[in-house]
A and B are shown apart, each in its own frame.
Chain A
């Protein structure tokens, strides 16, 4: 199939359709709305379910119900709407049904604004509602990767009966790039053996997240954890750039990662031995690879569009072995390559000691930059 110029939000919507999306339930919110609008036109055309719910709370619970029938289902939203969905996400995880969720992040807290940010890393990767579970979180950095990972998200959701989040920020949602869509996949109407479809010629089935006996709940928590260990072992994804001989490693996901790529190239052109690790699964997080890199490099720079949320995971992986520095822009401000280039140069020419909290020196530098 030939490449087309596609907008991130629309590309994800169409990729979901071609992955066999049977039902979508959502609620408008910027900068995600094009995704919902695309589906509002395409899904009925194909005789599939599109519904604009009365709230994100309703949308995620509609998705929950539809997922219980074994259909491929999806919802999408942006940060404040995702906050409202936390309840349903937890129930879905507790019931162990597959759901794909797209979060087109914007700035917060509160209403914040509609500009791009990576402010939901904690709420998605370390949060996802109450209780003990972890969602699979895929963080594409381009329109093509958004398409490929949406397709992948449905496969992973089905394989592990888990929630898979496609985590992008508003700029990827709004950006257009040439990309190739997958072929249309035939919808599999064969329902899985756990699905609730009406007890015809079989015993009845119950899908629930309730385990009133603590021992059963503990067993469930362990089952979910064991499945997670399997996910960690099999589904880790990241992309590496110029790491073969890198003495300095930049770590960034999504948009921050691709902005860092420009900075890394510019620094390489000056002869600085710097490389980039761009986690694609931010959950499971590539702790092991980062640990390996910390044995080879002499410093790391974490770049995010927040105040240092993934930073803590990188620090946990590095374990204090080498200095980890941080650079973030937030509130809807997207970092530009020259800012990260400057950070790379600074780290290269003014080596720093490992500090307890790299955010403190970053905050000082942010103050300096302002004055």
Chain B
């Protein structure tokens, strides 16, 4: 059992840290995990991404062509990864910055106005955590509590006062997906 997640966006959107939080949570949950950032030729245009793989056995390749889930924080990331997401995979889209609709019909997609949510919570640096909350609700590879623990353990000391806000952001992202799922069921 292996889940591959790509988180992509502009530099400064907390893309790499969001991936690390996932990786810490996976590690603390006793899973195998790899986190690998883009640092080479694909970093053109100020976009950043990282791949996180969570698995039950020794992980082979730290990179995959068709990740099962992608968080697209901005339009260039959606343009790049929409064609690459695995068949019937999941796209978590930051609808605050992305207006276009999806071209593929097989994908499970969730639109999250992450910037607005973060700003309503009072800090736009929370955008990434809103998206992580949404991801883990749509693709329940790790419990939200594991993320909370990871944030508590690994949020840089100078940001520790933001911990409650981070928890709120995580739940806000999760709630939106819950609502959508309930809406689809009814």
A binding-site residues for B, Cβ under 8 Å? 3, 5, 30-31, 113-116, 170-171, 174-178, 255, 258-265, 332, 334, 336-338
* Residue picked from B34, B35, B40, B62, most chain A C-beta under 10 Å: B40
Contact B20 A114 (CB under 8 A): no
Interchain CA distance A332-B27 in the complex, whole Å: 29
* Residue picked from B20, B35, B41, B60, most chain A C-beta under 10 Å: B60
Interchain CA distance A219-B65 in the complex, whole Å: 54
Residues in A with CB closer than 8 Å to B111 are: none
Interchain CA distance A115-B41 in the complex, whole Å: 7
Residues in A with CB closer than 8 Å to B35 are: 5, 175-177
Give the residue name and chain of the A residue nearest to B42 (CB): A115
Give 22 CB contacts A-B under 8 Å: A3-B27, A5-B23, A113-B41, A115-B41, A171-B36, A171-B62, A174-B36, A174-B39, A175-B34, A175-B35, A175-B36, A176-B35, A177-B34, A177-B35, A255-B62, A258-B59, A259-B63, A261-B58, A261-B61, A336-B63, A336-B65, A337-B65
Residues in B with CB closer than 8 Å to A332 are: 40-41
- With A3-B27, A114-B40, A115-B40 already in contact, the answer to whether A261 and B34 are too (CB < 8 A) is no
From 115 to 135 in chain B, residues with beta carbon under 8 angstroms from any chain A beta carbon are none
Interchain CA distance A175-B32 in the complex, whole Å: 13
Contact A176 B23 (CB under 8 A): yes
* Residue picked from A177, A259, A263, A332, most chain B C-beta under 10 Å: A177
Counting from the closest, the 7 A-B pairs by CB-CB distance are A115-B40, A262-B60, A261-B60, A259-B61, A176-B35, A178-B27, A262-B61
Contact A31 B39 (CB under 8 A): yes
Residues in A with CB closer than 8 Å to B33 are: 5, 177-178
In angstroms, how far is the closest chain A Cβ from the Cβ of B37? Answer: 6
Residues in B with CB closer than 8 Å to A170 are: 39-40
0 or 1 for each of B32-61: is its CB under 8 Å from A? (1 = yes): 111111011100000000000000001111
Contact B60 A337 (CB under 8 A): yes
Complex partner residue of B20 from A174, A176, A265, CB under 8 angstroms: A176
Interchain CA distance A332-B37 in the complex, whole Å: 14
Interchain CA distance A89-B61 in the complex, whole Å: 32
In angstroms, how far is the closest chain B Cβ from the Cβ of A80? Answer: 15
Contact A337 B39 (CB under 8 A): no
Contact A338 B65 (CB under 8 A): yes
Give the residue name and chain of the A residue nearest to B2 (CB): A262
Interchain CA distance A178-B39 in the complex, whole Å: 20
In angstroms, how far is the closest chain A Cβ from the Cβ of B68? Answer: 14
Interchain CA distance A336-B37 in the complex, whole Å: 15
Give the residue name and chain of the A residue nearest to B39 (CB): A174
In angstroms, how far is the closest chain B Cβ from the Cβ of A89? Answer: 27
From 54 to 99 in chain B, residues with beta carbon under 8 angstroms from any chain A beta carbon are 58-66
Interchain CA distance A115-B63 in the complex, whole Å: 14
Interchain CA distance A171-B61 in the complex, whole Å: 11
- With A262-B60, A265-B60 already in contact, the answer to whether A174 and B37 are too (CB < 8 A) is yes
- With A176-B23, A176-B34 already in contact, the answer to whether A337 and B61 are too (CB < 8 A) is yes
Residues in A with CB closer than 8 Å to B65 are: 336-338
In angstroms, how far is the closest chain B Cβ from the Cβ of A260? Answer: 7
Contact B61 A258 (CB under 8 A): yes
Interchain CA distance A301-B52 in the complex, whole Å: 28
Interchain CA distance A261-B62 in the complex, whole Å: 11
Residues in A with CB closer than 8 Å to B41 are: 113, 115, 332
Interchain CA distance A113-B37 in the complex, whole Å: 16
Contact A113 B20 (CB under 8 A): no
Complex partner residue of A336 from B36, B39, B64, CB under 8 angstroms: B64
Residues in B with CB closer than 8 Å to A114 are: 39-40
Residues in B with CB closer than 8 Å to A116 are: 40
B167 at the interface (CB under 8 A from A): no
- With A5-B20, A5-B23, A176-B23 already in contact, the answer to whether A336 and B61 are too (CB < 8 A) is yes
Residues in B with CB closer than 8 Å to A262 are: 60-61, 64
In angstroms, how far is the closest chain B Cβ from the Cβ of A251? Answer: 15
Residues in A with CB closer than 8 Å to B36 are: 171, 174-176
Residues in A with CB closer than 8 Å to B66 are: 338
Give the residue name and chain of the B residue nearest to A106 (CB): B40
Interchain CA distance A263-B63 in the complex, whole Å: 12
Complex partner residue of B63 from A3, A260, A334, CB under 8 angstroms: A334
In angstroms, how far is the closest chain A Cβ from the Cβ of B65? Answer: 5
Interchain CA distance A265-B56 in the complex, whole Å: 14
Supply 6 further A-B pairs (C-beta < 8 A) apart from A5-B24, A114-B39, A263-B60.
A5-B20, A171-B36, A178-B32, A178-B33, A262-B61, A265-B60
Interchain CA distance A174-B43 in the complex, whole Å: 14
Residues in A with CB closer than 8 Å to B20 are: 5, 176
Residues in A with CB closer than 8 Å to B63 are: 171, 259, 334, 336
